[in-house]
Each structure stands twice: as structure tokens, then as C-alpha cells.
Structure 1
């Protein structure tokens, strides 16, 4: 099974605030996430590959020369 990351771990590695990640989840943008349950307070986890894919999608190409 692939490693699952907590919001705190994603926040630490991306330097995004926990509230920013929460806002991104609410707005359905940012890295894909997994909710472990159906309640509002169910834990959230991120697959490492989903975080990496999202980061790759954020790369902005700059013009050469």
C-alpha cells in the first residue's frame, strides 16, 4: 500500500499553511485527498503520489532568452 501523508506532513513539505490546505480541499483544488470516513471530522490523508503529481502540475514554464 502506498504511503499516506497527514495534512501536517504535506504542510511541512510544501510550506503551505494547514488552513490553506483545508481551503483547497473545501474548494476542490490542490492535491487529491482521501477522507477516512463520512463524518465532518473524519481524518484526511494524502497519497504521496497525488501530492507529487499536483506539485508537478504547478510548474510554470518560463520563456527562454
Structure 2
């Protein structure tokens, strides 16, 4: 039950701010943190901000960058699919 409360806080914390942690991106958009890490490594996911160099730097995503990335990867039905 404690874990559920923490996850609910994560979802509500994600709503107001323009910068999202990978956990908040997961809560809002449904992409796992590992998927986001894989996309960062491959250079294929949404743009992100790294607060400091090295492995210890925190990762943040602009909500607008995730929305733009999703829009750019939206495929219409028909021949384009």
C-alpha cells in the first residue's frame, strides 16, 4: 500500500511542472524507465536534459519535448503505416 501511495504522488507531481523525471514520464506517458534509458543510449527518444556530466547526472525531460517527439512519431493509417 505504501508503494501505491508513492506512485500516486509521482503521478500528481508530474502534472504541474514542465520538467519530468524518468519516473514521472513513466507515470504520465507509460514508457518504462529502462525504455527511456535505451532510447537515450541509442539517441532515438525524446530530447532530455542532463543536470551534470557523468553517470551521476540527473535526467529530466521537458514535457513539450516528449509531446513533440510523440507527434513526430505518430503514423497515420494507410500506406504510410
TM-score by length of 1: 0.86
Q: Which has the higher contact order (CA 8 A, sep 6+)?
A: 1
Aligned structure 1 segments of 4 or more residues deviating by more than 3 angstroms:
none
Specify every segment of 5 or more residues in structure 1 that has no aligned partner in the other structure, as ranges. Answer: none
Within the candidate set 29, 45, 59, 2:74 is matched to 59
CA displacement 1:15-54 (0-9 Å, x = unmatched): 1111010010011111100000012121000011100000
**Equivalent position SS for 2:60:** strand
Give the structure with the higher percent helix.
2
Within the candidate set 25, 30, 54, 1:39 is matched to 54
**Equivalent position SS for 2:69:** helix
Give the number of the structure whose alpha-carbon radius of gyration is greater. Answer: 2
Pairing 1:23–2:19 present: no
Within the candidate set 63, 69, 73, 1:48 is matched to 63
Shift of 1:57: 1.0
